[in-house]
Amino acid sequence: MKKIGVLTSGGDAPGMNATLRAVVKAGTYHNLEVIGIEAGYIGLLEGRYRNLDILDVEEIVSYGGTIIKTGRTKEFQREEGFNKALDNIKNLELDGLVVIGGNGSMKGAQKLSEAGIKVMGVPGTIDNDITGTDYAIGFDTACNIVTETVDRILDTATALVGSTPRVFVIEVMGRHSGEIAMTSTLAGSVDALLIPEQEVDYDQISANLKRKFELGKNYGIILMAEGVGKVDEISRELEMRLGFKVRETLLGHQQRGGRPTAFDRVLGSKLGAEAVNQLVKGESSKMVGVRNNVVKAVELKVVNSDKKKFNTKNYELTKMLCY
Ligand code: F6P
C-alpha cells in the first residue's frame, strides 16, 4: 500500500478536521502518500484533489468544518457518475480510501467497495444515527451547543417573573433522529422532549406543564428534533392547549459550527488513525466505530442494513427527568 485517499462527505460535523489530521498523520507514519479528495464524492467525480502532508493538518484539530470541504451529490449514485468516480480512483492509483461522513456516505463507501476499491468508513455526523458505533464525530459538540442554548434560555426564563408562565420551544437538528434532542434533554433543564421516534402526545405535555405551573413553576422549556415538524406549528398547537403565547427558537446550523469538544477531537483522532491502520492491515469494506469505549471495525453491510437501535433507556430517563 502506497497511496490512500480521504474525503469528508454529507453534512459537515465538528471533529472532521481532527479526523483528517489523524488520517494524514497515521498515513505518513505508515509511509503512505495521502490525497485529500475535495467536496466529498463530488471531488471523486470531478477529479478534484490535493496532496495532504503533515503541515497541512498540523493546526486543524481545533477547527470546525472540514479543510477539504464536503458535499452531497446525486450524480455519484447514477451509473455514469459512479463509473467516472471509479476511473478517477484508478487514475489516482489509490490503494485505499477513507470516507468520513453519515449514513449516505457509508452507502457510497459500500458501493465503492463492491466495485473492488479498498474502503474504510468513519462515522461523522452530528445526528449520531449510524449503526455500529455508539458515537459519531460531531454529536458531542452539537449536544454541548444545544445544552448551552437551553442554559441561556433558562436564565431568561427564570429571571423574568410575570403573571402568566412563559413556555419556550427549541428546535434542534435531526431529520430522522432525536438523538441530539434526547441527549441534550438529559443534560439540561427541560420539561418535554419531542422526537421523531415517538408519537407526540400534546395532551400529556400540556398536562405535565400545567401540573408544574400549579406547583409554582412559571416557565417551561421544550426540546424538539426537526423531524417532528415545524417549531412554529408545534408552538401554535401548544398555545391552543395552554391558552397563552409560546416562544420559539430555531437553533439551526449553529449546531454544526464552532470548535469541536475535546470528546469529538479524541474520537476523530482514534477513528481516523484506526481507519488507516485497518487499511494497512489489508482490511476493507468496514466502518470503524466505538462500542462500549472500544474502537472496533464493523462490516459496512451491517452498518447499511440496520437502522440504529433507539435508546429506550435514555428515553425512559428523559420522561422521569421531565416530570
Ligand atoms: O448533518 C445532518 C444534518 O445536520 C441534519 O440533522 C439536518 O437535517 C441536515 O444535516 C441539514 O443539512 P443541510 O444544512 O446540509 O441541508
Note whether 11 and 66 are within 8 A (CB): no
Choosing from 127, 140, 191, 264, which is the catalytic residue? 127
- Give residue 105's pLDDT: 98
- Give residue 306's pLDDT: 87
Mean per-residue pLDDT, 181-191: 98
- Give residue 279's pLDDT: 98
- Give residue 129's pLDDT: 98
Q: Is residue 175 in contact with ligand 1, taking CB distance under 6 Å? A: yes
Residue 162 pLDDT grade (very low, low, confident, very high; cuts 50, 70, 90): confident
Q: Which residue has the cell 447514477?
A: 78
CA of 303 to the centre of ligand 1 (A): 20
Q: Is residue 11 in contact with ligand 1, taking CB distance under 6 Å? A: yes
CA of 114 to the centre of ligand 1 (A): 27
Residues in CB range of 232: below 8 A, 6 or more apart: 248
Nearest atom (ligand 1) to Cα of 13: 1
Residue 163: pLDDT over 90: no
Work out the number of other CB atoms within 10 angstroms of the CB of residue 48.
Answer: 16
Q: Is residue 127 in contact with ligand 1, taking CB distance under 6 Å? A: yes
- Residue identifier of the C-alpha nearest atom 11 of ligand 1: 11
Q: Is residue 171 in contact with ligand 1, taking CB distance under 6 Å? A: no
Assembly ipTM: 0.96
pLDDT digits (tens, 9 = 90+) for 2-30: 999 999 999 999 999 999 999 999 999 99
CA of 172 to the centre of ligand 1 (A): 10
CA of 262 to the centre of ligand 1 (A): 22
- Residue identifier of the C-alpha nearest atom 3 of ligand 1: 11
Q: Which residue has the cell 477539504?
A: 68
Q: Is residue 174 in contact with ligand 1, taking CB distance under 6 Å? A: yes
Sign of torsion over alpha carbons 129, 177, 107, 14: negative
CA of 13 to the centre of ligand 1 (A): 10
Q: Which residue has the cell 460531531?
A: 138
Mean per-residue pLDDT, 90-117: 98
Residue 240: pLDDT over 90: yes
Question: What domains lie within the chain, and their CATH numbers?
Answer: 3-138+260-305 (3.40.50.450), 139-256 (3.40.50.460)
- Give residue 96's pLDDT: 98
Residue 130: pLDDT over 90: yes
Residue 161 pLDDT grade (very low, low, confident, very high; cuts 50, 70, 90): confident
Q: Is residue 38 in contact with ligand 1, taking CB distance under 6 Å? A: no
- Residue identifier of the C-alpha nearest atom 15 of ligand 1: 11
pLDDT digits (tens, 9 = 90+) for 63-100: 999 999 999 999 999 999 999 999 999 999 999 999 99
Cα distance between residue 280 and residue 303, in whole Å: 21
Residue 266 pLDDT grade (very low, low, confident, very high; cuts 50, 70, 90): very high
Note whether 137 and 11 are within 8 A (CB): no
Q: Is 127 a catalytic residue?
A: yes
What is the percentage of the chain residues whose pLDDT exceeds 70?
100
In the chain, which ranges are E strands? 3-8, 33-37, 49-52, 96-101, 119-123, 166-172, 192-194, 219-225, 246-250, 286-291, 294-299
Nearest atom (ligand 1) to Cα of 255: 4
Q: Is residue 272 in contact with ligand 1, taking CB distance under 6 Å? A: no
Average pLDDT, the chain: 97
CA of 29 to the centre of ligand 1 (A): 34
Beta bridge partners of 238: none
- Give residue 312's pLDDT: 98
Note whether 16 and 7 are within 8 A (CB): no
Mean per-residue pLDDT, 52-63: 98
- Give residue 151's pLDDT: 98
112-118: long-range contacts at Cβ-Cβ below 8 A with a sequence spacing of 24 or more?
112/85, 112/86, 113/284, 113/285, 113/300, 114/285, 115/82, 115/86, 117/86, 117/89, 117/284, 118/279, 118/284, 118/285
Q: Is residue 173 in contact with ligand 1, taking CB distance under 6 Å? A: yes
Residues in CB range of 129: below 8 A, 6 or more apart: 102, 103, 136, 174, 176, 177, 179, 308
Note whether 223 and 193 are within 8 A (CB): yes
